[in-house]
Chains A and B, each alone.
Chain A
Amino acid sequence: MNAEYVIDDDFGVIYIHKADHRNRAPQKSQWTISEQQERDCFGNILGLIYMDGFGSPNGCWGLHIVAGRLAYLGESASDSSEPFRALFIAKFVDSNENDRWHGYPADHVSNTQDIPTSDWLMYWFEAGYISQSQLRKISRGQKCKL
């Protein structure tokens, strides 16, 4: 069962927790943060999406920030070439473009579609969340530690 939450009344935004990203489905990356933290990760970028025009329904990206610092939020799928690699980027999509979003831990190494677009990367860099090295490694689909 995919639990649903109203994230923002003004924009009518719903967030859906996808069970297969928490139930050890072998082909799916898995969240390692709580559902509340997952919603916060999305909630923190609502303004960027709905007011600043960042991203698109096909791809918006979020980070898990703890005490002002970037933290891991998930791990790669167990049947990927490198199972259980720690992940720190979340991807959010609104597939039907009806303000019903869901998300998952993005594996930028295994899937080029999970590499955030340049506006998100530069926003995070300028905000001090990612370094110049991380900027390059994410853009090249290379392994990247925090």
Chain B
Amino acid sequence: MQVIKLSLHGRYYDSQIYSGNLYLWTIDGRIITLSWERLINNLIDSVPENLKFAAHCAFKDNQFLYGQEWQLLFRDSAFQGLLLTRFDELNKFLKDFSFNDFSAFVINEQDNPFQFPHSDTLIYYDRLFVAGKEGIAVRRRYGTQYAINDNIEKLWDSPVLSMAGSHLALALATGQDGVYEYSLDSQIEKNEPRNLLDKFSNYVRWLYPSFFSSSYGTGYFADFRLRQLSVSYNEKRQNIRELESILSSNELFTNTSDTRSLYTWGSYDKICSLTKEHIKVLKYTPRRKMGGERKDIGKLELPNQLGSEIISADNALFGFVIELDDGLFIIDSQLNFHWFGGEPVNWRVFPNTKNYTNQLHVIYSDQVNIFSFNDDYFVNQTDKFAGIDYRHQQYQNRL
């Protein structure tokens, strides 16, 4: 199936999508808050009647098709075929569709009150976090329109290269100082980041209570287990995370006959190792009483040798996204390969959202392309090789 694409013209640096709004950081120092809900409603109004459902699922609410209530229907190959046809027709209908003027959907446009250029942004726990050379700042969303207010709070002064949120905490990749955790628990009086890993880290992602730290050298998996604090009968149950072990990427991927790993990363239930010829994947399942289980689920040969340098990679429900020097290489969950040529300004996937897990945002110098992947609904999530298991995503996002 073809990937469906929408474009918004403009010169952007970063994007986030959350709860019906699209946030765009412009290169000239503004943040535009756009009602994605209204923009897509407008788009849905403009497509033929028989494509409205596909447009709704592609851009507005992709969780709809993952629901358990649809599983029986999806076993009907005729229904699957119809839906796939509709997505293909929508793709043809929207071919190169771009919004040159989306001012009617702009909720707010303001000067960027955060450091710029930043290294990373994150919307988690109803807050917007911005990280960079000057540390981390946070702003709560506010009001009915959910624009970003100017009142921002500095959380930490040290440089942060990447961050991820889960378990009411931020995992922070800080380069040579390793990975830190910043608790967002309001019950803790003074939130000082604590060092979890002292190995170089320029990228970090959660795998349930654990995390994976990537770098251009060795990657590290810090395996935590959850332990329930004993509490009295009427108290709320409370879990604490305890470090079980730290494993290097060389220990995780031990087959030495393979060619050298170029990059390792992990998030949710998948840990990946990429060489020039193939990608190897471990599936991670947390265990309550001990460290998590890691199962080798095989390797996939790449269509061509990777000729250019790897910049970064991330996991989405729809597959793996790998940034190379000269473009993005995507392995979708049906094991199709996609190549989006051209050096991106920035890109993001949104596995921690409810309705936008099928989206890949790729910013180029004059536009942001919003790609919608719609194959994963038909993939057996238990046997899935490429991409996050939907059920695991649901579980982790509740944490």
> Do chains A and B interact in one complex?
yes
- A: residues with CB less than 8 A from B are 81-82, 109-113, 115-118, 121-122, 125, 131-133, 135-137, 139-143, 145
Structural contact, A81 and B216, CB atoms closer than 8 A = yes
- Contact, CB under 8 Å: A117 / B133: yes
Contact A139–B174 (Cβ < 8 Å): no
Closest A residue by C-beta to B202: A141
Contact A122 B216 (CB under 8 A): no
B117's partner among A81, A111, A136, A141 (CB-CB below 8 A) is A136
Q: Is the CB of A115 within 8 A of B133?
A: yes
Q: Which of B119, B174, B200, B309 contacts A140 (CB 8 A)?
A: B119
Contact A132 B134 (CB under 8 A): no
Indicate if B393 sits at the interface (CB-CB under 8 A): no
Chain B contact residues: helix, strand, loop or mixed? loop
In the assembled complex, the Cα of A114 lies from the Cα of B218 at a distance in Å of 21
Inter-chain contact A81/B132, CB cutoff 8 Å: no
Nearest residue in A to B120 (C-beta to C-beta)?
A140
Inter-chain contact A139/B119, CB cutoff 8 Å: yes
Cα-based distance from A32 to B116 in the complex (angstroms): 31
Report Cα–Cα, A102/B242, bound state, in Å. 46
* B1 part of interface (Cβ distance < 8 Å): no
Tell me, yes or no, whether B62 is within 8 Å of chain A by CB: no
Say which residue of B118, B159, B309 sits within 8 Å of A112 (CB atoms): B159
Chain A proximity of B241: nearest CB distance (Å): 26
Q: Which residue of A lies closest to B346 (CB)?
A: A136
5 closest cross-chain pairs (CB), A and B: A81-B217, A112-B175, A112-B159, A132-B345, A139-B117
B215 nearest in chain A by CB position: A81
Q: Which of B120, B134, B311, B325 is most buried by chain A, counting CB atoms within 10 A of its CB?
A: B311
Given the contacts A81-B216, A112-B175, A118-B116, A136 and B345 also touching, CB distance less than 8 Å:
yes
A-B contacts besides A139-B133, A140-B202, 10 pairs, CB < 8 Å: A81-B217, A118-B132, A118-B133, A125-B27, A131-B343, A133-B346, A136-B13, A140-B162, A141-B202, A143-B309
Contact A131 B119 (CB under 8 A): no
Which A residue sits closest to B323, measured CB to CB?
A142
Interfacial chain A residues near B218, Cβ < 8 Å: 81
Bound: A125/B117 CA distance, A:
10
- Could you say which residues of chain B place their CB within 8 Å of the CB of A117? 133-134
Q: B120 to chain A: which residues have CB within 8 Å? A: 140
Tell me if B396 is interfacial: C-beta within 8 Å of chain A: no
A-contacting residues, B97-153, CB 8 Å: 115-120, 132-134
- The closest CB in chain B to the CB of A132 belongs to B345
Q: A111 to chain B: which residues have CB within 8 Å?
A: 175-176
Q: How far is the CA of A111 from the CA of B174 in the complex (A)?
A: 10
The reply to whether the CB of B86 lies closer than 8 angstroms to some CB of chain A is no
Q: A136 — nearest CB in chain B belongs to which residue?
A: B346
Chain B hits for A139, CB < 8 A: 117-119, 132-133
Shortest distance from the beta carbon of B13 to any chain A beta carbon, whole Å: 7
Chain B residue nearest in CB terms to A109: B216
Across the two chains, which residue of chain A brings its CB closest to B310? A143
Q: A81-B200, A110-B176, A115-B133 are in contact. Are A137 and B311 (CB under 8 A)?
A: yes
